[in-house]
Structure 1
Amino acid sequence: MARRDLVPTIRTNPLLSDKSKNPKPPTTTPGIQSHLNDHESEKQKMSHDELDHHNPAVRPLTGAALPLSAGRGHLMKGDRHISTDDIGLNRQILGTHAPDHEDLDVKPILSIIEDILLRGKSLETVHGDQVPAHSESYEEKSFRNAYHDSEMVKMLAYPITKITNEIICKCGAGGEAHSVAIGLLETLSNYGWDAKAVITFAAFSVSYGEFWLVENLRVMNPLARDIAALKDIPETMEQKEEMNKKFQAIVNLLRAVLNVTHIIIKFKELPTQYVNRDSPEMKTATVHIPTAVYWIIRGILACASVLLNLIGSGHEFITSTAESWELLSLASKLSHMSEHLQDQLNKLNDFIDRQYQKREFDDMVNAFKASHIDNMKILKMIIRAGENQMPIFDGTRRINERLEVLRMTYVLLLVSDLDLPHEELNILHMIYNQQSTRHQYEVLWLPIVDHAMSMDPTQERQFLDLRSSMPWYSVDHPSLVNPVAIRYAREIWNFNHMPMLVVLDPQGRVANVNALPMMWIWASVAFPFTKERELGLWRESTWDMELLADTIDPRIQEWIKDDKTICLYGGEDIEWIRRFTTTMRNIATTLRVPLEMIYVGKSNPKDKVRRCHEIIDREKLSHIFPLKDFYDYVWYFWVRLASMWNSKIQHGMTVETDKIMQEIFTMLTYDGSEQGWAVFSKGIYNMTKGKGDILLTVLDNFRQWQEKVDHPDKFVPVLDAEISGVHLEHHCNRLILPGQTGYIPERVVCSECGRTMDKYVMYRCCTD
């Protein structure tokens, strides 16, 4: 039996000179960087725990990485004989490469390696008893067995065994690290770079796993105990805290090796239809992979060399300072390589994503141009859904449906973000419910949300609240909207925050890129919402109370049927409103004119309009819209006028030649002034209008023209003549067009004097 005193108490490190009493850190061999900078040197001085903390990208392993069950070995010699020229090293590395197995899928082997590293310490000591630390589920067993049965594992079993023996042999003989690494690369010359790294890693993992089989079973299995005794392996479980400290540097290095290996494999998995291996982008990104594989092998050899020293050391194994520096240096180098390669991989993924998005976008553009038998292809390109998924929500029946429920029907895509104005939603809701022709089409809400940013709980709640308030169909979740469709909406349909209603016909063709103006003006009567239908409706239209306000309030329809005189008035000067309404009621009573007045406020109604509503209601000055929804009704009245203006402009009509445009222009200039105004109508066709100062002048002179009204039907014509007879010396008409109305004409003439109006850009912020 060998005597204990024949075994040296403390091992010497071949990296150090025998004459050196105070060992210094070994010189780091050049790789991607020729030498460690000051920052790296500081990292080398950190404790093992600090290094682990500063490398969060490295995946943690459960349990400490512990020594190989190989023969007694020596730490390999350092790199004192290697040139510091990176180019020379790279040339030497590339000189070993003559691949004929570029396309091997080594992921099954890497999965087994990770499993070995994770399960190496599969038993924990609890009060001296060995108990399983983890019980495999059926899914885990099936998943692992699939890798074990892989043809790739069987095919590479021999080279893995060969490299295992070569590592043990050359490390045990104290070979020079660089020479051994180059030798392994030459042995693996016919494999791709990812396979070289994985085969070498697997070879190390075999010995690593064998050690832990012995270590975990030595307490309960006599055979394992005998093998451990012959190898004189320290009883690490009894010295757990001390041994963990000794091998933490090995754990950090193995983590770095694993991380870099994963990144190298990810390069190989990139889709070649978007970036092939010979493309400039790929060559630039992968130029450092050969060097990274070299340093992976160097890291594995360093771990194997240090761990081989454990065999036969019993309780006396001590890691030297030089060994610790070597492991820390390699871990730091691989960590920096990992960051660099990950950065290059991210750039490639961004490039691929742009290429993919471009191809998908081009496909969508071509699909919208092509002819289809139905609308399913277009809808499925817009909404991403699985084969059995129900991606749309029926707001009326409160159930999910398949896209097929929209097959061969007109689909109105309500495109908006989550800040959908409540007034637009409420009015669209009203139109959707009241029209008998609605069955000819379906509305589908398409929520536009940036997919690059995940929705927070507030946005999720906002989406669900909006969806629940809609009686039509909605996409079940914004994530189902294809990002390419979002880009298409922004670039082709010019979606920019403001809601739009895109009409798809039964074959998926775009019949109208935004039918909201038509919906506001004519509601569902405008179906199928094409430009031809819009032009036809204008040809049928005349300027009357039905066009101006028929759909705003059902009371207006009743007043028209009852042949009453109707007055719409607006503004936000409450004193003018009091004087005007009181005077008009007195005149109507005197002339026995059946008069109904209703206040329509101003566009973009603020607090002043709300206060006017409240005062008018409290003092019974006239009719008003319901106080609860007054904002929606006022908004609806003015957005219809703006939509009429925009529609006429798009069809090439002008104020000079189109009667309706002249009237719309006048109404919009009334809204842009600071005065009150009023429009009067008897029946449908007899109409007149006037601004506040002119109206009050005419009304104050009532005694002069009242005798002309010998019948209630003559009131509006006489009033029109009196208003037309008032000519002010000066006038100032302002036409304010909301920014979202669409096309802004370059030239507009004044309806009062015929001169070209000056054009200004106005920015307004009203906080009344």
Structure 2
Amino acid sequence: MTCKDPGVETADQTTLNILRKLTRYSWDAKAVLIFTAFATNYGVLWHLDNYSHSDTLAKSLATIKRVSLLRKELDSVKYGQAIKYINEFRTLSKYDTKDVPELSAALRQIPLVSYWIIHTLVASSIELHCYLSGVQGQAHKYLNELFEKSESILLTLENHLQLIREQIEEVELYRWLVDQTDHFPTDITLFLSKLIDGKHKARPLINCSTQLEEYIEDFLKEKKLILIVSKRLDISTEDLEILYSIYNEVKKENKFEMVWIPVIPDPPMDGDEEAYEYLISVMKWYVVPFNTKIAGMRFLEERWELREDILMVVLNTQSKVEFSNAIHLTRIWEKEALPFTYDRAKALLKKNWIESTVVKFTDQPRLRSLVVINQERNVIFYGGHNPRWIKKFEESAETMKRDPTTREEGITFELAPVGMNKGEQDPVITFRFWMAQRSYFILKHQLQGSTATEDISRLISYETEDGWAIITKGPTVVFVAGGDLILKAMDQFNLWKKNMRRLGFSGSFKEHFDELTATSLHCTNVNLIGYSGWIPLFITCPMCRRYMGSGIRFTCCHGGPDVLF
């Protein structure tokens, strides 16, 4: 390096020659070796400058060689700092790049950064040699360009390092949260603080009942936690009403506290702050402040599977999960689902499906009391979004009722419209009905397996049809049907009414419907998009018993609110 003519081309060619000679060394090792060689050759100049303040001879020699001026110019190029960053990247490479993706980007920079470190050291070495030999050196402009280049490289490395440190903090927090919920009992106040802020003591939350701030340690100590998390600020009125009833019930014994964590995008979207302010004005429980960036976001999304729908996790005083997503329990049984344990869920699932999720959405008092169902009567629950289909269904049902064969056999059945209010289709009741069906399906599938959910999945698959029906005999579901096929079966009553003496009304109806289904299969969809928490990975088709395919659905709401269902 010391015997080269000055010039940009010389510095570049010398750098390439050095790299060829050091092929068997890693890129960071190459940079360190050249930096060591440079320091060995020219460390005396820095030595003179350091001792010139206390040693007269050193000061004289430094003055003669104009060391302070030369060192000031060469010190502007921060050789060592870039090498420190590279070494830190290597040290941090113990982390998996899947967990710390920025580390992969930083490691890819090492060859280029090492080249420029060596190139800069070569150029500096040539400049020093020329200076000490009294030879005309390189253009001052080039050294300034190297200074700017080194500043740019350092800024890039600093940005990488900052992002890496943030991602490592996220990884360490994620591991800590997993350990505490799975293995090590941890006070619920510490767990919630770390989940929200990543610190042992989080900023205070807002008590919506008083609109005052309170620290987690002050209100949650030795209590169970109902943690509500949402990525959306358009929580439905139906869900809010359910949460109110839960809150009023748990406050009677004061064993639970409820906390809502809204996940706000950064930066917030237009209208987010107004929506947030409205919600905290109508809520009664504790809420995380609007501008909070949730530290445990990865844990929420990967471990607790937070998606678009509300997630409601119930934890005990030692941060053990007592129920992974109680929102499904509350949408079906509301406060009856307390205290939100798996034992309570299993007990509630022993109740009849129709009793739990269908009867309460009818407007017939006799059915609400289950008198008819307990009498082993035939009941047809029905609904749909197409008024013409519903009218046709009701007309066909009345025709079957009036048929002489029906009367001769002494057969009767009740018609029970679902989602109606005073004779009119009520969209709110209909929305809650389908919400309850999906929640029941997910719970049943999670706790009892896929074979326990065939009737429910069949019903859900008919949601987009013009209409649907559930035919029951007492508490037993005989079959679920929908669309034009059940209308066709009813129109063909004359073909199957002769079997009613042998099979009964519901049995002969089912037999004929199954025959029609076998010859007219079409694609079936069970839509569970957006639900948080556990959802089944595989669903058996309610029609053909094969595993259903899964994929991605793209949705556009034309600027309006997203629709989950």
TM-score (norm 2): 0.65
CA contact (8 A) 2:314 2:325 kept: yes
SS of 2:257's partner is strand
- 1:575, CA displacement in angstroms? 1.9
Distance 1:646 1:33, change over 3 A: same
Give the alignment partner of residue 358 of structure 2, picking from 544, 548, 551: 548
- 1:546, CA displacement in angstroms? 3.9
Residue 325 of structure 2 is aligned to residue 524 of structure 1? no
Give me the whole-angstrom Cα distance separating, in 1, the residues matched to 2:368 and 2:463.
Answer: 24
Residue 474 of structure 2 is aligned to residue 664 of structure 1? no
Match of residue 538 from structure 2:
745
Percent identity among equivalent residues? 16
- 1:693, CA displacement in angstroms? 5.5
Match of residue 425 from structure 2:
624
Give me the whole-angstrom Cα distance separating, in 1, the residues matched to 2:466 and 2:208.
Answer: 44
Match of residue 25 from structure 2:
none
- 1:764, CA displacement in angstroms? 6.2
Match of residue 98 from structure 2:
none
Match of residue 438 from structure 1:
250
Q: How does 1:421-436 map to 2 (within 5 A)?
A: 422=234, 425-435=236-246
- 1:687, CA displacement in angstroms? 8.8
Match of residue 407 from structure 1:
221
Deviations 1:475-525 (A, max 9, x none): 11353421xx21222332233444322221221112233222222222232
Match of residue 262 from structure 2:
447
Give me the whole-angstrom Cα distance separating, in 1, the residues matched to 2:228 and 2:336.
Answer: 18
Q: Which runs of 5+ in 1 are unaligned?
A: 1-25, 37-85, 102-156, 185-199, 202-252, 301-321, 601-615, 709-716
Give me the whole-angstrom Cα distance separating, in 2, the residues matched to 1:362 and 1:536.
Answer: 34
Q: Letter of the aligned partner of 1:409 in structure 2?
A: K
Distance 1:640 1:682, change over 3 A: same
CA contact (8 A) 2:471 2:478 kept: yes
Deviations 1:74-97 (A, max 9, x none): xxxxxxxxxxxx998962423455
Q: Letter of the aligned partner of 1:382 in structure 2?
A: L
Q: How does 1:493-508 map to 2 (within 5 A)?
A: 493-508=304-319
Q: Letter of the aligned partner of 2:467 in structure 1?
A: G
Distance 1:27 1:508, change over 3 A: same
Give me the whole-angstrom Cα distance separating, in 2, the residues matched to 1:271 and 1:470.
Answer: 47
SS of 1:730's partner is helix
SS of 2:382's partner is strand
Give me the whole-angstrom Cα distance separating, in 2, the residues matched to 1:677 and 1:479.
Answer: 45
SS of 1:414's partner is strand
- 1:269, CA displacement in angstroms? 13
Give me the whole-angstrom Cα distance separating, in 2, the residues matched to 1:330 and 1:569.
Answer: 83
Give the alignment partner of residue 486 of structure 1, picking from 293, 297, 302: 297
SS of 2:469's partner is strand
Give me the whole-angstrom Cα distance separating, in 1, the residues matched to 2:448 and 2:212.
Answer: 45
CA contact (8 A) 1:598 1:623 kept: no
Q: Letter of the aligned partner of 2:425 in structure 1?
A: I
Q: Letter of the aligned partner of 1:560 in structure 2?
A: R
Give me the whole-angstrom Cα distance separating, in 2, the residues matched to 1:727 and 1:329.
Answer: 87
- 1:376, CA displacement in angstroms? 1.7
Q: How many residues align?
A: 486
CA contact (8 A) 2:208 2:281 kept: yes
SS of 1:642's partner is helix
Residue 151 of structure 2 is aligned to residue 370 of structure 1? no
CA contact (8 A) 2:205 2:289 kept: yes
Bigger drift between 635-644 and 257-266 goes to: 257-266
Q: Letter of the aligned partner of 2:347 in structure 1?
A: G
Distance 1:257 1:94, change over 3 A: closer
Residue 349 of structure 2 is aligned to residue 538 of structure 1? yes
Q: Letter of the aligned partner of 2:261 in structure 1?
A: L
Q: Letter of the aligned partner of 1:525 in structure 2?
A: E
Q: How does 1:84-103 map to 2 (within 5 A)?
A: 91-95=37-41
Give me the whole-angstrom Cα distance separating, in 1, the residues matched to 2:366 and 2:181.
Answer: 45
Bigger drift between 692-701 and 379-388 goes to: 692-701
Give the alignment partner of residue 647 of structure 1, picking from 437, 443, 458: 443
CA contact (8 A) 1:274 1:356 kept: no
CA contact (8 A) 2:196 2:294 kept: yes
Match of residue 730 from structure 1:
516
- 1:529, CA displacement in angstroms? 2.5
Distance 1:338 1:511, change over 3 A: same
- 1:382, CA displacement in angstroms? 0.5
CA contact (8 A) 2:485 2:516 kept: no
Residue 172 of structure 2 is aligned to residue 359 of structure 1? yes
Give me the whole-angstrom Cα distance separating, in 1, the residues matched to 2:268 and 2:260.
Answer: 18
Q: Cα RMSD over matched residues? A: 5.7
- 1:458, CA displacement in angstroms? 5.6
CA contact (8 A) 1:544 1:687 kept: no
Distance 1:525 1:95, change over 3 A: farther
Give me the whole-angstrom Cα distance separating, in 2, the residues matched to 1:697 and 1:730.
Answer: 8
Distance 1:472 1:569, change over 3 A: farther
- 1:743, CA displacement in angstroms? 0.8
Distance 1:266 1:258, change over 3 A: farther
CA contact (8 A) 1:32 1:337 kept: no
- 1:294, CA displacement in angstroms? 11
CA contact (8 A) 1:669 1:736 kept: yes
Deviations 1:606-654 (A, max 9, x none): xxxxxxxxxx99xx8x2332xxxx2x54233123222222322223445
Distance 1:95 1:558, change over 3 A: farther
Q: Letter of the aligned partner of 1:641 in structure 2?
A: Q
Match of residue 398 from structure 1:
211
Bigger drift between 433-442 and 393-402 goes to: 433-442
Distance 1:163 1:334, change over 3 A: farther
Give me the whole-angstrom Cα distance separating, in 1, the residues matched to 2:75 and 2:398.
Answer: 91
Q: Letter of the aligned partner of 2:443 in structure 1?
A: S
CA contact (8 A) 1:414 1:501 kept: yes
Give me the whole-angstrom Cα distance separating, in 2, the residues matched to 1:549 and 1:299.
Answer: 90
CA contact (8 A) 2:332 2:440 kept: yes
- 1:536, CA displacement in angstroms? 2.4
Distance 1:165 1:416, change over 3 A: farther
Larger radius of gyration: 1
Give the alignment partner of residue 368 of structure 2, picking from 518, 537, 560: 560
Give me the whole-angstrom Cα distance separating, in 1, the residues matched to 2:189 and 2:56.
Answer: 58
Deviations 1:258-290 (A, max 9, x none): 6959967996997999699xxx98999799879
Give the alignment partner of residue 467 of structure 2, picking from 676, 689, 703: 676
CA contact (8 A) 1:260 1:337 kept: yes
- 1:535, CA displacement in angstroms? 1.9
Q: Letter of the aligned partner of 1:411 in structure 2?
A: L
- 1:330, CA displacement in angstroms? 3.1
CA contact (8 A) 2:382 2:417 kept: yes
Q: Letter of the aligned partner of 1:569 in structure 2?
A: Y
Give me the whole-angstrom Cα distance separating, in 1, the residues matched to 2:381 and 2:298.
Answer: 43
Deviations 1:129-183 (A, max 9, x none): xxxxxxxxxxxxxxxxxxxxxxxxxxxx995845999789856x5x4x6xx37x9
Give me the whole-angstrom Cα distance separating, in 1, the residues matched to 2:396 and 2:121.
Answer: 94
Give me the whole-angstrom Cα distance separating, in 1, the residues matched to 2:39 and 2:505.
Answer: 99
- 1:431, CA displacement in angstroms? 0.9
Give me the whole-angstrom Cα distance separating, in 2, the residues matched to 1:534 and 1:664.
Answer: 17
Distance 1:581 1:447, change over 3 A: same
